[in-house]
Structure 1
């Protein structure tokens, strides 16, 4: 598939800038094909590493079912939203990524993703406490990997 180019090409961010935005931010919106063909967009926490996005989710629910029915998804992170009223404009910076989502099956990959999420969102916790949390709750969550095929910023 050929993805669309940004309409305002001269404002497009370099891939490195997009990756920095994805690495720095803590929340984004995942959009999938939901029930009845309606889009389903859900805000969530994530990590970005090695060209992919990782999310955790429950063992059942709308997001997981939607991705099992259609693995194509997009993910948007807003990095800047500065309103400039005197110019009737907004200085806006965001990244939109498109890709295929898969459910991680291998226990080591799941643990690594949970560990990376824990380090990002609870950096003050000890490694021992994090491993204990993974041991206690790791079996109750799924990890979804969104392999990025196209990204604009």
Structure 2
């Protein structure tokens, strides 16, 4: 799952943990004018793929329909690592960046499976409840198949 090796790489287990526990991810798509469009999203990491829910229409959906190549990012920020020199101040962090292919789920069973996983992650008290048919019809689910994934960290042991 990891891409090119660089300094301060997260292990596969650390990447999986960050993707599982992060509450917000950032999805980057390309507008029809070639500019990146970044959207904060709720998501779930399941079976090696990212699943995102939202309206079945809109800018990110249109962008994906034109160009399925996307970038997805999550991060957790730790403490500031202060110094007496401004350029030596740093921040503890962990981050994961994924390059992938996005598709819109059409299969109703797979869409419901992904939505159930998202509900279980964010509002577990509602797990197992049936989705109203009108809400289900208006909800889109994006699946990102991972092509490349890198995870990095920085902390006070890196100095």
**TM-score for the superposition, normalised by structure 2:** 0.85
Secondary structure of the residue aligned to 1:102 is strand
Aligned residue pair count: 146
Higher helix share: 1
Higher RCO structure, 1 or 2 (CA under 8 Å, sep 6+): 2
- Cα separation, partners in 2 of 1:82 and 1:35, compared to 1, 3 Å: farther
Cα displacement (A) at 1:15: 1.6
**1:87-137 deviations in Å (ceiling 9; x for gaps):** 51111211111110011111100111111111111112352xx32x35451
Segments of structure 1 that go 5 or more residues without pairing to the other structure are none
Cα RMSD (Å):
1.8
Q: Which residue of 1 aligns with 2:120?
A: 119
Segments of structure 2 that go 5 or more residues without pairing to the other structure are 152-159
- Cα separation, partners in 2 of 1:26 and 1:134, compared to 1, 3 Å: farther
CA contact (8 A) 1:114 1:138 kept: no
**TM-score for the superposition, normalised by structure 1:** 0.88
Hey, which bits of structure 1, 4+ residues long, moved more than 6 A? none
